[in-house]
């Protein structure tokens, strides 16, 4: 009598979906800061004590789950008062906050930034902008949102996302031993 094997190898893999793209927004850096590393809470010799310290980390992979080694992940966000390091925001950003960071992912596709839990500003819910590049190619620009933030439901960009898009871009910021921690995996359709 034939046997039907329903073990792990016989099961189809769970479908992976590409991380949804969103607008870059008006405040992508015009000039990159001299200090553009993973630690946005330290701008050169200046420390930034404001806000809630947070680690934003994850991985960059393709739809098959293969890490995209060598990809660059960039993040940028406003300071605790809602200001960006950008001429269009009037030069009001706190100079202690780096505001922009860039890392190159390793062979395993992982990345990690030290920053602060994003804050709301006029018309927007808390968010962090994320861009992924590979060489000169821009592969994705999107935004990361804070799970459970009451401002999400009134944010015009968050509301445009379908349920799967909201699940992909909205992550919890959970307490950890060295600040909050948010895990944001990026899946690219390349």
Q: What is the pLDDT of residue 5?
A: 42
Task: Give the separation between CA 73 and CA 77, rounded to whole angstroms.
Answer: 14
Find the distance separating the first CA and the last CA of the chain, reported in whole Å: 44
Assign 157 to helix, strand or coil.
Answer: helix
Q: What is the pLDDT of residue 15?
A: 74
Task: Give the separation between CA 170 and CA 183, rounded to whole angstroms.
Answer: 10
What confidence tens digit (pLDDT) does each residue in 10-25 have?
444 557 899 999 999 9
Model confidence band, residue 4 (pLDDT cutoffs 50, 70, 90): very low
What confidence tens digit (pLDDT) does each residue in 128-155 have?
999 999 999 999 999 999 999 999 999 9
What are residue 103's DSSP bridge partners? 73
Higher pLDDT residue, 91 or 169?
A: 169
Mean pLDDT of 58-83: 98
Q: What is the pLDDT of residue 131?
A: 98
Q: What is the pLDDT of residue 14?
A: 59
Task: Give the separation between CA 183 and CA 172, rounded to whole angstroms.
Answer: 8
Assign 182 to helix, strand or coil.
Answer: strand
Note the pTM of the prediction, 2 decimals: 0.91
């Amino acid at each position: 009598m034939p046997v039907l094997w329903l073990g792990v190898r016989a099961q189809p893999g769970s479908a992976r979906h590409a991380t949804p793209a969103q607008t870059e927004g008006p405040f992508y850096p015009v000039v990159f800061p001299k200090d553009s590393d993973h630690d946005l809470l330290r701008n050169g010799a200046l420390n930034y004590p404001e806000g809630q310290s947070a680690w934003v980390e994850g991985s960059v992979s393709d739809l098959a789950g293969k890490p995209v080694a060598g990809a660059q992940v960039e993040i940028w966000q406003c300071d605790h008062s809602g200001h960006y390091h950008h001429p269009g925001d009037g030069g009001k950003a706190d100079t202690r906050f780096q505001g922009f960071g860039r890392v190159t992912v390793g062979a395993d596709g992982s990345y990690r930034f030290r920053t602060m839990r994003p804050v709301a500003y006029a018309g927007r819910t808390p968010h962090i902008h994320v861009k992924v590049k590979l060489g000169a190619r821009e592969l994705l620009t999107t935004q990361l949102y804070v799970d459970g933030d009451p401002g999400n439901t009134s944010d015009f960009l968050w509301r445009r996302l379908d349920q799967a898009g909201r699940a992909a871009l909205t992550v919890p910021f959970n307490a950890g031993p060295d600040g909050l921690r948010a895990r944001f995996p990026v899946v690219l359709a390349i």
